[in-house]
Chain A
Amino acid sequence: MSHLLEVDKVSKTFGGVAANSDISFNVHQGEILGLIGPNGAGKTSLFNSISGEVEPDSGEIRLDGVRISGRGPVVCARLGIARTFQVVRSFDSMTVLENVMVGAFARTNSPGKAMKKAESVLDFAGLSGRVDTPAHLLSPPEKRRLEVARALATEPRILLLDEMLTGLTPTEAQAGVQLIRDVRASGVTIIMVEHVMEVLLPLIDRAVVLHLGKVLTEGLPTEVVRHPDVIRAYLGDRYAAA
């Protein structure tokens, strides 16, 4: 069976530091894949390679068998990769609706169609009451939703979520989880980076654990957290035996 996304021996170094070395894993259609690992494990670097923001030094990333690595973010977005950012990036001189319209213009030239698309996506993301609000006035969780809505407006096949739930209160995080579930139910495959394990583990179908730029292990979330190497990576050698 062919996979939706194949990450094939991807390596990337920044000034002598290996952010990613020889990373390989596959993403299945319709799943929620969690990318976990301690700080500096190379999760965001990998996101940047998948979304086309940076070009891997070696290796290849394929979407439906077509190489997307090294072809730039615009091509990746056109082919169906959308993302959110670890530090929220909203277009602050625009309203919420206008922000999302920028995304919708990835698929249409018509302002009317872009507006309709943006409105329906905002409705989906639970922001329909904030359509005309300037983006910079949104609360942090609303800004996260805006980023998701904007990404969805590009009609992606895969959505990359970079720490979307980090820094939210438990209630806000639960609302975020529900949104992610809804996105998946709409047929979009999700890869997410997250630190908040107790929120992440019940949500994801599979986990890939990165450590020091390498894949430590992958598997079901319940399995990987019991894996001795994972415990060692997070907590140190003393806890691995426990």
Chain B
Amino acid sequence: MAGSILGHNSIQRRRRLELIVGLIVLAGLCLLPLVVKDVYTQNLIILTILYAGLAQAWNILGGYCGQVSLGHALYFGIGAYVSTMLYVKLGIPPTLGMFAGGLVGGLFALLVGWPCFRLSGHYYAIATVVVGEIGYLLFLNWDFIGGASGINIPFKHESLVELQFRVTKVPWLYLVIAYAGLAWIIAWIIEGSRWGYSWRAVKDDVTAARSLAVRVFPSKMAAAAISGCLTGIGGAIFAQFVGYIDPDSIMSGNLSILIALPAVLGGVGTLWGPLVGSALLIPLKELSSSYLGSSGSGLDLMIYGALIVLIALARPQGLISLLGLFRKPEGAR
């Protein structure tokens, strides 16, 4: 059997190949500004890549570790608020502030995980919805951080350190590429490490995992911390990008779904699922809302719904699994 001869290094070979493909995709994305000059399209690409990073952050907890969180807007919002408050009130530049936002986001993911990871399956997902809503309501009524009217980030001057770019969108593009790249490489490293194996074991069968000395609760907590931290950083970048934040735009339940959806659509627990999913979903969302205006805000949700149903029925492993159709399944006899 060919599989056994090549089998010796099959995992390493696959990982090396993924890394090469990753570098090619990275190079391709970096060259985009040379081709795409139109500001509207650039804007669309920036959002798509940002969401690819966010979805990868979600995927680390929801995909690899199997803990489906529908409250990630909380960590996103916290990251956004922390970096924005540090910038607006204390003048600390967002290049530092986003890491503070990530840190606090990760910390909150641990705080949420501490009670919620005692629940399993659907109950965990429901708990995260509730926690996300609580966070949204608290921020909505917290005057110190602007309450429902939000915070405006004043534009002072063009600055790399303070992430203030008005002349061109290109720096944003490179920033979100760096962000999504970071999320991707973290996922890649985890996938090949002891943690990755433990987390996937926890996802597949908790009882069997425990019997093999996998510490289940710490595994979930570690996944949550990394996921929450990356999501917080993404929130900080988004806040700086749009220049204005309020609880409705960055902490609503809709956003939690929008963070999770690309990964689900593209392929849960895969390296490329989040990017593939956002490349389809985010342009769809932006185009539908710009063509249909605010009256179309319900319609994009209907489109998501239809997509989810379609994927769930036809390819439960996500769009990325379509690639597998061209390959002979290795287990076939």
- Which A residues form the contact surface with B (CB < 8 A)? 51, 53, 72-74, 77-78, 82-83, 85, 89-95, 97-98, 101-103, 105-106, 109, 111, 114-115, 119, 128-134, 137-138, 150-151, 153-154
Contact = CB atoms under 8 A, between A and B. Distances in A.
B122 to A, nearest CB: 19
Given A101-B197, A109-B194, A129-B4, A91 B208 contact: yes
A133 B193 contact: no
Interface stretch (B32-40, B105-113, B198-206, B226-234): B198-206
A48 to B, nearest CB: 10
Among B11, B198, B203, B215, the one with the most A-chain Cβ atoms within 10 Å of its Cβ is B11
Contacts of B214: 74, 102, 105-106
Contacts of B215: 74
A153 B201 CA distance: 15
B28 interface: no
A95 B200 CA distance: 11
A74 B3 contact: no
Interface residues of B, number: 31
13 contacts: A53-B210, A74-B210, A91-B204, A94-B200, A98-B197, A102-B198, A105-B214, A106-B213, A111-B197, A128-B4, A131-B4, A133-B3, A134-B331
A154 B209 CA distance: 12
Contacts of B210: 53, 72-74, 77
Nearest to B4: A129
A132 B7 contact: yes
A53 B212 contact: no
A106 B209 CA distance: 10
A27 to B, nearest CB: 18
B269 interface: yes
B198 A105 contact: yes
Contacts of B269: 93
Contacts of B203: 93
B10 interface: yes
B194 A111 contact: yes
Interface in B209-242: 209-215
A114 B212 contact: no
Interface string B1-22: 1011001101100000000000
B7 A89 contact: no
B254 interface: no
Interface in B282-333: 329-332
A73 B208 CA distance: 10
A93 B321 CA distance: 13
A58 to B, nearest CB: 23
Given A85-B208, A111-B193, A74 B213 contact: yes
B207 interface: yes
A93 B200 contact: yes
B91 interface: no
A73 B11 CA distance: 29
Given A97-B11, A111-B192, A114-B194, A85 B331 contact: no
Nearest to A77: B213
Nearest to A83: B211
Contacts of A153: 212
Contacts of A85: 207-208, 211
B208 A89 contact: yes
A222 to B, nearest CB: 33
A90 B331 CA distance: 15
A11 to B, nearest CB: 23
Given A53-B210, A106-B212, A132 B197 contact: no
Contacts of A134: 329-331
Contacts of B1: 129
B212 to A, nearest CB: 5
Contacts of A150: 208, 212
Nearest to B194: A105
A95 to B, nearest CB: 8
Interface string B150-170: 000000000000000000000
A138 B11 CA distance: 19
Nearest to A123: B4
Contact of A77 (B197, B212, B329, B332): B212
A7 B106 CA distance: 44
Given A85-B207, A97-B11, A133-B331, A91 B213 contact: no
A109 B8 CA distance: 19
Closest 7 CB pairs of A and B: A137-B331, A77-B213, A106-B213, A89-B208, A133-B331, A91-B204, A73-B210
Given A93-B203, A93-B269, A111-B194, A131 B212 contact: no
A151 B211 CA distance: 8
A102 B201 contact: yes
A119 B200 CA distance: 19
